[in-house]
Amino acid sequence: MRGQLSRLFIVALLQCAVASAQPPTGPTATILLRNGHIYTSNPNQPWAKALAIQDAKILAVGDEAQLARFRGPRTLVIDLAGRMVMPGIIDSHIHFLDGSLSLDQFTLDDAYTIPEIQRRIRAFADHHPDRQWLLGRGWLYDAFKPSGLPTRQILDEVVPGRPVVVECYDGHSLWLNSRALALAGITRSTPDVRQGDVVIGGVVRDPASGEPTGVLKEDAMELVRRVIPARSREAKLQALRAGLKEANRHGLTSVLNASGSIAEMELYDTLRRQGELTVRMTTALMMEPELSEKTLETFEEGRRRFHDEWVRGGVIKAFMDGVIESHTAAMLDPYSDDPKLIGSLNYTPEQFRRNVVELDRRHFQVITHAIGDRAVRTALDAYQAAEETHGPRDRRFRVEHIENVNPADIPRFASLRVIASMQPYHCYPEPNLFHIWARNVGAARLPYSFAWHDLAAAGAKLAFGSDWPVVSLDPFIGIQNAVTRQDAKGQPPEGWVGRQKITLEQALAAYTRDAAYAEFEEDHTGSLEPGKLADVIVLSQDLFSAKPLEISQTAVLMTIVGGKIVYRSNL
Q: Give the three-class secondary structure for 217.
A: strand
Complex with Zn ion: residue 258 or 546, whichever CB lies closer: 258
Q: What's the CA gap between 273 and 241, in Å, rounded?
A: 14
Q: What's the CA gap between 287 and 367, in Å, rounded?
A: 10
CB-based contact 277:311 (threshold 8 Å): yes
Complex with Zn ion: residue 299 or 468, whichever CB lies closer: 468
Q: How many residues bind Zn ion (CB under 5 A)?
A: 2
Q: Does 91 bind Zn ion (CB under 5 A)?
A: no
Q: Which residues pair with 85 in a beta bridge?
A: 38, 538
**Least distance between Zn ion and beta carbon 357 (Å):** 24
**Least distance between Zn ion and beta carbon 386 (Å):** 23
Stretch that binds Zn ion, among 182-190, 208-216, 373-381, 461-469 (CB under 5 A): 461-469
Q: Does 199 bind Zn ion (CB under 5 A)?
A: no
**Least distance between Zn ion and beta carbon 466 (Å):** 9
Stretch that binds Zn ion, among 22-30, 96-104, 370-378, 460-468 (CB under 5 A): 460-468
**Least distance between Zn ion and beta carbon 467 (Å):** 4
Complex with Zn ion: residue 328 or 527, whichever CB lies closer: 328
**Least distance between Zn ion and beta carbon 95 (Å):** 6
Stretch that binds Zn ion, among 39-47, 295-303, 467-475, 510-518 (CB under 5 A): 467-475
**Least distance between Zn ion and beta carbon 316 (Å):** 15
Sign for the pseudo-dihedral over CA of 16, 19, 20, 25: negative
Q: In what order do the strands lie in the sheet with 173-176?
A: 106-107, 134-139, 164-168, 173-176, 212-217, 203-205
Complex with Zn ion: residue 313 or 469, whichever CB lies closer: 469
Q: Which residues contact 517 (CB under 8 A, 6 or more apart)?
A: 396, 419, 461, 463, 526
Q: What's the CA gap between 224 and 185, in Å, rounded?
A: 8
Q: Does 482 bind Zn ion (CB under 5 A)?
A: no
Complex with Zn ion: residue 95 or 501, whichever CB lies closer: 95
Q: Does 467 bind Zn ion (CB under 5 A)?
A: yes
Report the half-sphere exposure of 222 (CA within 13 A, side-chain side).
9
Q: What's the CA gap between 192 and 327, in Å, rounded?
A: 16
Interaction pattern, residues 201-240, with Zn ion; x per rule: CB under 5 A: ----------------------------------------
Complex with Zn ion: residue 256 or 455, whichever CB lies closer: 256
Complex with Zn ion: residue 80 or 376, whichever CB lies closer: 376
Helices 233-249 and 262-273: crossing angle, nearest 10°?
A: 70
C-alpha distance from residue 143 to each of 113, 154, 286 (Å): 5, 12, 32
**Least distance between Zn ion and beta carbon 99 (Å):** 10
Secondary element (H or E) of residue 388: helix 373-390
Rounded-to-5 percentages of helix, strand, coil across the chain = 35, 20, 40
Complex with Zn ion: residue 467 or 519, whichever CB lies closer: 467
**Least distance between Zn ion and beta carbon 406 (Å):** 22
Q: Does 258 bind Zn ion (CB under 5 A)?
A: yes
Q: What angle do CA 251, 555, 490 make, to 5 degrees?
A: 115
Complex with Zn ion: residue 38 or 366, whichever CB lies closer: 366
**Least distance between Zn ion and beta carbon 367 (Å):** 10
Enumerate binding residues for Zn ion (CB under 5 A).
258, 467
